[in-house]
């Protein structure tokens, strides 16, 4: 079946995202054909487009979407034509009107979770889930530092961390982002263009530091994030929006006997049972109202390049959708 999709033929800047006709095959054994209602935009797609995370060329980028099942491949019993579904840990290929996807990467949507909300949260919200509940399980009364607090993952994570009973210190680059983070519960917001987050963490924790720093900014924040840790604290480096962190000497962890981990949602949710549990926990947070999803940005799918420019230009707050 012919369909429209964004395709990358050469790694590079946003201009390599080309709106093209592609041929979509019938679903094979264990696969579904899903027609997308909405597609989530994620920073990982910047890495894919630029070639930092490499895929064989040409490829359709994208990792997160929601829609309806249009056809079911042989051997698939869990899904039927018409089911409302979403995914956030499928192989690349979500920047498309319609695609084939492995059924074991897909979840059904609860009645009260709309397709646009699902497309906005599957990858980002399940990331918040594993970071806060499995990488470093946050306990009531703990103070945590979360960078890029007004970003896609950030806004979901700060709300979830509040629901877990934490005090949240968040970093953002502008006053507008600060206001948004504060509105969604961030207790101490550091505007990095004019304030040092290490000083603020020391002030908020009486000099002790925090038991965990969630750092997706990478190159620009890594060294200072380590300085924010309490003895035996954990630095969770889960991204590199400012660029990759250069190689580090393990001796940097010695002073406070601290821990460093570099986790990935794809590893945490690689087993189907983990994916289902992660998605269920996310839907529960949304249905209970602990985590709200207010999508402020959307672009037609064919203008994915503009969405990438805005994301890399730090212009996006919360989740952003691409609409086919």
Binding-site ranges for ligand NAP (CB under 6 A):
42-44, 123-124, 127, 148, 150-154, 172-173, 177, 216-217, 220, 238-242, 263-265, 311-312, 314, 316
Smallest gap from Cβ 320 to ligand NAP, in A, equals: 8
CB of 129 to ligand NAP, least distance (A): 10
**Cβ-closest position to ligand NAP:** 151
CB of 153 to ligand NAP, least distance (A): 4
CB of 217 to ligand NAP, least distance (A): 4
Question: Of 104 and 220, which CB lies nearer to ligand NAP in the complex structure?
Answer: 220
DSSP collapsed to 3 states, the chain? CEEEEEEECCCCCHHHEEEEEEECCCCCCCEEEEEEEEEECCCHHHHHHHCCCCCCCCECCCCCEEEEEEEECCCCCCCCCCCEEEECCCCCCCCECEEEEEHHHCEECCCCCCHHHHHHHHHHHHHHHHHHHHHCCCCCCCEEEECCCCCHHHHHHHHHHHHCCCEEEEEECCHHHHHHHHHCCCCEEEECCCCCHHHHHHHHCCCCCEEEEEECCCCCCHHHHHHCEEEEEEEEECCCCCCCCCCCCHHHHCCCCCEEECCCHHHHCCCHHHHHHHHHHHHHHHHHCCCCCCCCEEEEHHHHHHHHHHHHCCCCCCCEEEEC
Q: Which is nearer to ligand NAP, 117 or 123 (CB)?
A: 123
CB of 214 or CB of 283, closer to ligand NAP:
214
Q: Which is nearer to ligand NAP, 148 or 228 (CB)?
A: 148
Question: Smallest distance, Å, CB 235 to ligand NAP?
Answer: 13
Closer to ligand NAP by Cβ: residue 42 or 285: 42
């Amino acid at each position: 079946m012919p369909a429209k999709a964004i395709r990358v033929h050469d790694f590079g800047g946003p201009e390599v995202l080309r709106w093209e006709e592609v041929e979509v095959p019938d679903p094979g054994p264990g696969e579904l054909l899903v027609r997308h209602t909405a597609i989530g935009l994620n920073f990982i797609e910047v890495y894919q487009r630029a070639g930092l995370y490499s895929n064989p060329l040409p490829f359709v980028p994208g990792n997160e979407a929601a829609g309806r099942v249009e056809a079911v491949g042989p051997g698939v019993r869990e899904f039927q034509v018409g089911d409302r579904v979403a995914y956030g840990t499928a192989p690349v290929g979500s920047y498309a009107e319609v695609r084939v996807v492995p059924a074991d990467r897909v979840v059904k949507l609860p009645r009260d979770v709309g397709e646009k909300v699902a497309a906005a949260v599957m990858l980002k919200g399940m990331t918040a889930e594993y970071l806060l509940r499995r990488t470093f399980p946050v306990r009531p009364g703990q103070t945590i530092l979360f960078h890029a607090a007004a970003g896609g993952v950030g806004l979901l994570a700060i709300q979830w961390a509040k629901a877990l009973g934490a005090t949240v210190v968040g970093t953002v680059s502008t006053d507008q982002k600060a206001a948004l983070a504060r509105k969604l519960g961030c207790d101490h917001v550091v505007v990095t263009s004019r304030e040092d987050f290490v000083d603020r963490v020391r002030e908020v924790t009486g000099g002790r530091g925090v038991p965990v720093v969630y750092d997706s900014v990478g190159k620009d924040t890594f060294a200072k994030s380590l300085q924010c840790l309490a003895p035996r604290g954990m630095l969770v480096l889960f991204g590199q929006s400012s660029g990759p962190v250069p190689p580090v000497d393990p001796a940097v962890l010695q002073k406070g006997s601290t821990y460093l981990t570099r986790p990935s949602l794809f590893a945490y949710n690689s087993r189907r049972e983990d994916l289902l549990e992660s998605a269920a926990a996310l839907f529960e947070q949304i249905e209970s109202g602990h985590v709200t999803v207010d999508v402020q940005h959307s672009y037609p799918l064919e203008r994915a390049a503009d969405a990438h420019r805005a994301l890399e230009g730090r212009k996006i707050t919360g989740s952003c959708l691409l609409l086919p």
